Structure 1
Amino acid sequence: METKKYPFSWEPGWSYSRMNVLRTCLRMYWYDYYGKRFAPERDRNRIMQLSQLSRVAFEMGIAVHQTISEVLKDLQINGDLIPLEEAKRTAVNKFEILVNNKPLVEKRYDIPFSEEDREERHGKIMTSMTTFYGSKWLTMIEEMPRETWNSWLIDPVGYGEFRMDGKKAYAKPDFIFEYRDNRHYLVEWKTGKPRRDENLVQVQGYLFYANDILGLPLESVVGVVEYLTFPSEKPIEVEGRLVNPMELKNKIMTELKLIESLCSNITENKPKDLDHFPKTEDLDICRTCKFREMCRPEL
């Protein structure tokens, strides 16, 4: 499947993750997206160091995603599905390697991560793998002729950059496959808590990514969010043929205007002064923020 690429440019683009940070705390947003370029020289090294901090929950998601990717690639190449119990062990082992070797917010700020917490994460990882193995998406791809498996896109390369009315945006699914109904399914494996309204916008963004980057007509694609850690949660399925493209474009363009309104120079992606990026008043957010020592060291 051919993919389109755009040349690098500085102007900001819309993404689900960027809007999540912006909504959570504008000061966090500034540190995350602008600190390394525009902070005073004396602060940049520390900001770069703090930017590398991860969280236990995030690494759990990485372990699950990496394992699913390996399972799918092994199936694609060898035609055999790794046994579920082996996949569970692999995912748990990956998680342990990641949390033992990555710089974590929990380590930096002495946030407790008890043995009970660790076992709970192991349980969620195993639940996620069980959900994946029992999902209809796995059944659907196994139903297809073996010669079609080479067309799967597993963890597509790049950042998922595409254009919407000439404006930059980012949205990239975890897995893309074509089914016998002649439609392409764009699947997001979600290990976090269900946020259906936000996830709906995210997965609709995948439809436009597929249209612009892969050249797939909207009516031929289906966006999917599978909630791996919450197997009782019904997956989101968005059929491109039923989507109102103008409604989604307007929503994304409105959010992009908010992103751009925080820039003093949009073309250079230069932010306004720091006082345009106030700290959240929710100290629970601050306590687990990777930039805590920069703006709330007293916590």
Structure 2
Amino acid sequence: MFEIKTYPDFSWSLSRHKTLMHCARQYAHQYYTSHNGWLKNAEPLSKQAYRLKNLTNLEMFFGSIVHDLIENVIDNYLNTGWIPPEDELRGRIRTSLNEGFVDSTRRMEAWKQKPKKTTMFHEIYYGSSNQLPEGKVEKIKGRMQTTAGHFLNSRTMQELAYNENIEFLESEKFRILYVGRLKVFVVLDLLYKDTERNKWIIADWKTGKKSEEDPYQLALYALYLLENYEVDNLEDIIIRNEYLLEGEAVEHQLDHVTLEKVQELIGSSVERMTEYLESPVDNQPLPLEQFPQTNDERACRVCNFYELCFS
């Protein structure tokens, strides 16, 4: 049964770690100020922070659309054996983008009431007009033209379609990994097994550019796999980034040293997060003013919580 708690449960994720490293004040709003902001009797500040937490931007929205579309295509293919053509995929992406734009420009009140169920672009909310920046629109149009084709021709999709030895396992699910007693959240884009080669393959779809954090995310996937499946050797795990902008697949073979480094990162990150807690037992944060703001003014301009810091 759902229980209303004064403070949220403590957990760790790579995105949470990156937020704290970026700006402690943003971290406070994202994980503490916004807590319970969905409740009707919530404090005004919590409601406001919860709304702002659910802002998205054009690039993030495009990425979520593509991930949802890929999940739908793969699920449908596994049930029917049919893969839609590239033009249809582009059309579905375009329709979802247009729906997001309509939400952002015409449904402000609906977003205020149910921010998780209505789309609001950061560029519209903080912009001076109901128009998206022309440069961003052109960039997304370019991505839309290439992403669908690169997905259909990707190494992962080709394996699913033409390799008879593939055993599908799971996709796009929030999963919990325990490192000691710590709850760690991971999201696997796609997990399947090549039974002929006895290889476990984790595919991660990327709609943006390569990132320095990619290997850390991959190592978390491997830890999850080792904990939840009967994997004989670490060498049997193949972790693949599918970069849909470039149409490039990059495979990684992890070793135990890399996994140990990731576990060390989690440990040091948790220690730093604990420094911002009044009561670690309850996950009660320190007062907001003890979460310092970043000095990066450009980062503040694109932060969802800009209006809380610069009213």
TM-score by length of 1: 0.85
Q: Unaligned 5+ residue runs, structure 2?
A: 104-118
Question: How has the CA–CA distance of structure 1 residues 212 and 10 changed in structure 2, closer, same or farther, with 3 Å as cutoff?
Answer: farther
Give me the identity figure in percent: 22
Aligned CA RMSD, in angstroms, stands at: 2.5
Paired residue for 1:248?
Answer: 262
> C-alpha deviations, 1:196-243, integer Å up to 9, x for none?
x31110111111112223454534322222221233xx5442224565
- Residues 71-82 of structure 1 aligned to structure 2 (within 5 Å): 71-82=73-84
Task: Give, in whole Å, the separation in 1 of the partners of 2:293 and 2:184.
Answer: 26
Q: Is the 8 A contact 1:192 1:229 kept in 2?
A: yes
SS in 1 for 2:251: strand
Letter in 1 for 2:304: K
Match of 2:122 in 1: 105
Aligned to 1:228: 244
Partners of 2:36 and 2:292 lie apart in 1 by 16
Deviation for aligned residue 1:33: 0.5
Deviates more, 1:121-130 or 1:234-243: 234-243
User: Is 2:182 aligned against 1:167?
Assistant: yes
Distance in 2 between the 1:271 and 1:251 partners?
A: 22
Deviations 1:96-147 (A, max 9, x none): 222332122112111662455323212212322222122111122223228x
- 3-state SS of the aligned residue for 2:187? coil
SS at match of 1:173: strand
Q: For 1:270 and 1:213, how far apart are their aligned partners in 2?
A: 31
* Match of residue 25 from structure 1: 23
Task: Say if 2:194 is the partner of 1:155.
Answer: no
What CA distance in whole angstroms lies between the structure 2 residues aligned with 1:44 and 1:178? 44
Give 1:41 deviation, angstroms. Answer: 3.2
| 2:115 corresponds to | none
Letter in 1 for 2:205: W
Unaligned residue ranges in structure 1 (runs of 5+): 1-7
Q: How many Å separate the matches in 2 of 1:290 and 1:245? A: 33
Residues 235 and 259 (structure 1), Cα distance of their counterparts in 2 relative to 1, 3 Å cut: farther
Instruction: With the length of structure 2 as denominator, give the TM-score of the two structures.
Output: 0.82
Give 1:77 deviation, angstroms: 1.0
Higher mean C-alpha displacement, 163-172 vs 278-287: 163-172
Question: Comparing 31-40 with 84-93, which one deviates more in the overlay?
Answer: 31-40
Inter-CA distance 144–267: structure 2 relative to 1 (3 Å threshold): farther
Greater relative contact order, per chain length (Cα 8 Å cut-off, separation 6+): 1
CA contact (8 A) 1:59 1:99 kept: no
After TM superposition, the structure 1 = structure 2 runs for residues 118-267 of structure 1, keeping only pairs within 5 Å, are 118-145=137-164, 148=166, 151-156=168-173, 159-179=174-194, 180-195=196-211, 197-217=212-232, 218-231=234-247, 235-240=249-254, 244-267=258-281
Letter in 2 for 1:272: L
Aligned to 1:3: none
